[in-house]
A = this chain, B = another copy of it.
Amino acid sequence: MTTNHRPSTPSRRAPRGSAAAARTVPSAGGGAPAGGRAARGSARDKLIAAAHQTVRRKGYAATTVDEICTVAGVTKGAFFHHFASKDALAVAAAEGWTERARPMFELPPHTKLEDPLDRLLGHIDFRLAMLEGPVEDFTCFVGTMVQEAYATSPAIRTACEASITAYCEALAPDIEAAIARHGISHGVGAMSLARHIQAVLQGAFIMAKTTDDPAIARDSVTHLKRYILMLFGRG
């Protein structure tokens, strides 16, 4: 598709609050001054959500700007109105991914448990439960993208690093508190363990992609959970 005709979305201006799947991404500005419906200025968020979806399936380089536009239901004019280049969208989408992951540390029930170790184990169980259905629905956008861009685009690599670091830093306080309360073997550090958790998840995603089977990924995360239990003397 070279030119980009109006995409065949049945009703372009959705009634209100549609595109629910990707609504977690905020306006990325500051405080919305007033007004209820965003309506017209929604192309940016839709493009970012479309990038998340498409890149996770096909990778970054294989994903074309036209395709992102089609999935988002907008035209190329809208794309280059909001983003200076494909790479600029990638950077914005990496930032958007961080926002999209944030509720994971606040919403689920386990985040209210009293013992920080229980919160940590609850998080692992939560990630474990996510590993179901189509592979492209639970894999990591930034993990996928950084593989292709780490050596060719410093801006994208840095944006992906920021997203992954944010995840680890969101995880670290509970680990820190769990260490303080329960102690840990071998003097393992909180950030070190947080990064290892992230690494196992990323590796589990690759194994799931390779075998086209989420069960392989779940098995690996189960090993991870066992390791954490053993570190805290609950083996």
Contacts and interface: CB of A to CB of B under 8 A. Distances in A.
Given A151-B136, A161-B211, A186-B226, A199 B195 contact: no
A193 B143 contact: no
Contacts of A160: 210
A135 B150 contact: yes
Interface stretch (A25-33, A54-62, A122-130, A172-180): A54-62
Contacts of A121: none
A196 B220 contact: yes
A144 B227 CA distance: 26
A195 B212 contact: no
Interface string A171-214: 00000000000000110100011011011111110110111100
Given A203-B202, A223-B227, A152 B58 contact: yes
A132 interface: no
Q: A150, A161, A203, A207: which has the most chain B beta carbons within 10 Å?
A: A203
A6 to B, nearest CB: 26
Contacts of A217: 199
A164 B199 contact: no
A17 to B, nearest CB: 29
A219 interface: yes
26 contacts: A58-B148, A58-B152, A62-B152, A135-B151, A143-B210, A146-B209, A148-B148, A150-B209, A157-B209, A160-B210, A161-B211, A164-B207, A185-B226, A188-B226, A193-B223, A195-B219, A199-B200, A199-B204, A199-B206, A199-B217, A200-B200, A202-B202, A202-B206, A202-B207, A226-B227, A230-B230
